[in-house]
Amino acid sequence: MLMLPLSGCILDMEFKGELVGTFEIDSLGTGTTNVNDTIISIELINSSVNQIQFNDDTGNQDGSNHFRFRIVRDIYNDTIGPSFECRIQTQSPSDCLIVESVDDGIWEIGEIITLQENDVDICSSGCQIQLTILNGDIITEEEENLQYLGQKAIGGSPIRHTTNFGMGQ
């Protein structure tokens, strides 16, 4: 199965965030019935933010340099499938784990991080995944200074606040 990253947004409303950095896809995962599959590995290319830190989803780290990583499975015909918050091991991860190449809670330029299943089967066969990395609430966009990281533009296409890609089987 061919795996190509796609840019896009499934929401029809205008997005109000500011692009503060870009990443590129290092590798895409393969869906199996295991509960620890790699979903995607991404490398931070640049950032205008001091440090990219990982949000623990408690509200204590709302906004600023703390970014939330959310994946949504099976985005077809403008419908939204189940969503999963991704967190590092020390921040009580749920279904999705962020694995750092340097285990310090900070995503630095040139560092590759991997999002993987954490004791749950997010994708057991080929599926579409949407990745969003924001420093505020992903659903409501409630944040005074909403900032996001986007996938590096390919072929002059615009950088968006979501990245869509397919996991093979």
Residue 23 has pLDDT above 90, yes or no: yes
pTM: 0.82
Residue 146 has pLDDT above 90, yes or no: no
Cα-flanking dihedrals φ and ψ of residue 82, to 5°?
-65, 145
Indicate whether 28 belongs to any domain: no
Cβ pair 97, 90 in contact under 8 A = no
What is the span of the domain harbouring residue 132?
35-151+160-167
Q: What is the pLDDT of residues 86-110, one digit of tens each?
A: 998 887 777 899 999 988 989 999 9
Indicate whether 8 belongs to any domain: no
Indicate whether 18 belongs to any domain: no
Indicate whether 20 belongs to any domain: no
Cβ pair 160, 17 in contact under 8 A = no
